[in-house]
Structure 1
Amino acid sequence: MDERPILFFDSGVGGLSIVEPARAALPAAPFVYAADSAGFPYGTKSEAEIAGRVPALLGRLVERYRPRLVVIACNTASTIALPAVRAALDLPVVGTVPAIKPAAELSATRVIGVLGTEATVRQAYVDDLSARFAGDCLVLRHGSAELVELAEAKLRGEAAPADAYARVLAGLFDQPGGDRIDVVVNACTHFPLVEAELEIAAPHPVRFVDGGPGIARRIAHLTAGQGWPAQDGRTGRLDGVAVFTRLGERERALLPALESRGFGRAEAL
């Protein structure tokens, strides 16, 4: 048996949208979920701040938890800091990038929306993905810090203002050509957590896609043939650990949502 966990990392709880398909693919795998709550949110920070913070923080997390694999379950951190993290860590690192390729494959109108954080949607990496995989599409982008907060609030059990999601989506669909969008890329791991609300608020029917299933397949591929610890005989699952860089009242309000997703213990880094 191999006790080493898989470490998931995000600024907040958005990475739980990656945890769900990964747990379905690897039900016996022990997981550690790390949220940089002291640095939350990443989407409004500069590239220099994120590039300096993420590799150092992941170095500390790897030293403490000794994972077999690290998943940067955050589009913003991945598009900015992934090369530096891979250079610093001597273990596999999986990043999360906008699902522009599958969106282009699905689009009939050839107009795609990319909904992410402000930091993600302005990255040259998104330009490259669009040119490589959606060259014949109009790719419209919108960055929203508010939607990140709405996702976090939902997991704390807080109600959102009635018009909140429609207001966010207006920033995307009100752009020239936005009335022809038929696929929206959830380019922030927080956003699949509120996909049902986004579907209701969209001005016309659209399909939302994200990178979660693809990331789960990648994790399964990289860990194929490895041993896993025995599961709890009563529950049939393993008790995961959630770790925060700041564990205050705001973070404690998220613990029930984390516990319901298999993270029964909380720690501060």
Structure 2
Amino acid sequence: MSRGHCASPASTAHKTGTALDPNAPILIFDSGVGGLTVLAEVRKLLPEAPVIYVADRAALPYGDKTEAEIAARVCGLLGRLAERYHPRLICIACNTASTIALGMVREVLEVPVVGTVPAIKPAAAMTKTGVIGLLGTKATIRQAYVDKLEAEFAAGKRLIRHAAPELVAAAELKLRGGTPDPAVFARAVAGLREQQDGDKIDVVVLACTHFPLLTPELSAEFGANVQFIDGAQGIARRIAYLTQGQPFGGTDQDQAIATGDERDNPALLAALRPYGIHRIQPL
């Protein structure tokens, strides 16, 4: 399936050989609010780092789109954002976007780019039964990148995949103060449990940054003997490593950018405030 191509305007190039602006932000990009799980971990390690959080709300959800649509949109948006805000680093805090477009973005933007991929490697080290569950979007679970991670890190184990797109909307609703339908979690768990060896799952990879927001609900449905793993902490450690020794100008300029009509959305602002973000700008 064709994945499209990124265009690379020369002005998006990261400036090298010059002093880094302390106010140059870390840009965290997601389709919605799922990337806030990554931002929370980044805040723990880099509390003084300036951040711009980008939510592509107009195109949510990514998981139902084709590879070509996702690649074209992510590359186009990140090119514009890099040109406008000159970030010191970009984090694609979305498993779907990363498994499809990460390589293309890295090829055209002369800025360090950190992606988000399913945490299959640590899950393989955690499992005692040898059976791992993976919950993701439709687009993520079908990617060859996931096949590669399974072959490299979970050889000899069983990885059971299930697409649970309803969890994205449930996470968005929960973060805005709503209460998701419990049936959503029952269907997600049944999608794994009802497959062969599903009753033996003892570790579940949350392969969408939205899903850790729903860990309490998923844990209650799975039962006490199942552990959950996601990539947020590892991503934050990678960002801290790549920015070590750099000057930070503080978080007073932090902001969120959203596609679609979100500037005055009080529910979205309420969700962002605990992360130190008090304004939303349109893109």
> Shorter-chain TM-score: what band?
over 0.9
Cα deviation, residue 238, structure 1: 3.8
The amino acid across from 1:202 in the alignment is F
Cα deviation, residue 172, structure 1: 1.1
Aligned to 2:136: 116
Unpaired runs of 5+ residues, structure 1, are: 232-236
Q: Quick one: distance in 2 between partners of 1:118 and 1:86?
A: 24
Cα deviation, residue 65, structure 1: 1.5
Q: Quick one: distance in 2 between partners of 1:54 and 1:164?
A: 28
Aligned to 2:245: 225
What's the TM-score once normalised by structure 2's chain length?
Answer: 0.90
Deviates more, 1:111-120 or 1:159-168: 159-168
CA contact (8 A) 1:29 1:238 kept: no
Q: Quick one: distance in 2 between partners of 1:169 and 1:28?
A: 39
Is residue 243 of structure 1 aligned with residue 269 of structure 2? no
Q: Quick one: distance in 1 between partners of 2:123 and 2:169?
A: 25
Runs of 4+ in 1 over 3 A off after TM superposition: 248-252
What's the TM-score once normalised by structure 1's chain length?
Answer: 0.94
Cα deviation, residue 162, structure 1: 2.9
Q: Quick one: distance in 2 between partners of 1:40 and 1:73?
A: 14
Q: Quick one: distance in 1 between partners of 2:225 and 2:245?
A: 42
The amino acid across from 2:43 in the alignment is R
Cα deviation, residue 38, structure 1: 0.9
CA contact (8 A) 2:95 2:140 kept: yes
Equivalent pairs, count = 263
Q: How do 1:1-269 residues align onto structure 2 when only pairs under 5 Å count?
A: 2-203=22-223, 205-229=225-249, 231=250, 238=252, 240-248=254-262, 252-269=266-283
CA contact (8 A) 2:132 2:203 kept: yes
Partner SS, residue 75 of structure 2: helix
- RMSD between superposed Cα atoms in Å: 1.4
Q: Quick one: distance in 2 between partners of 1:166 and 1:251?
A: 30
> Residue by residue, what CA displacement relative to the aligned partner does 1:107-143 show, whole Å, maximum 9, x if unpaired?
0000000111010000011100000000011100001
Cα pair distance change 1:115/1:48, threshold 3 Å: same
Q: Quick one: distance in 2 between partners of 1:161 and 1:185?
A: 22
Partner SS, residue 86 of structure 1: helix
Cα pair distance change 1:91/1:64, threshold 3 Å: same
Q: Quick one: distance in 1 between partners of 2:223 and 2:235?
A: 29
The amino acid across from 1:28 in the alignment is E
Unpaired runs of 5+ residues, structure 2, are: 1-20
> Residue by residue, what CA displacement relative to the aligned partner does 1:26-69 show, whole Å, maximum 9, x if unpaired?
00101100011111110010001011111111011112221100
% identical equivalent positions: 56
> Residue by residue, what CA displacement relative to the aligned partner does 1:216-240 show, whole Å, maximum 9, x if unpaired?
11000100110011x4xxxxx5452
Cα deviation, residue 169, structure 1: 1.2
The amino acid across from 1:245 in the alignment is T
Cα deviation, residue 251, structure 1: 5.0
The amino acid across from 1:4 in the alignment is A
CA contact (8 A) 2:263 2:281 kept: no
Q: Quick one: distance in 1 between partners of 2:171 and 2:195?
A: 24
Q: Quick one: distance in 1 between partners of 2:223 and 2:198?
A: 10
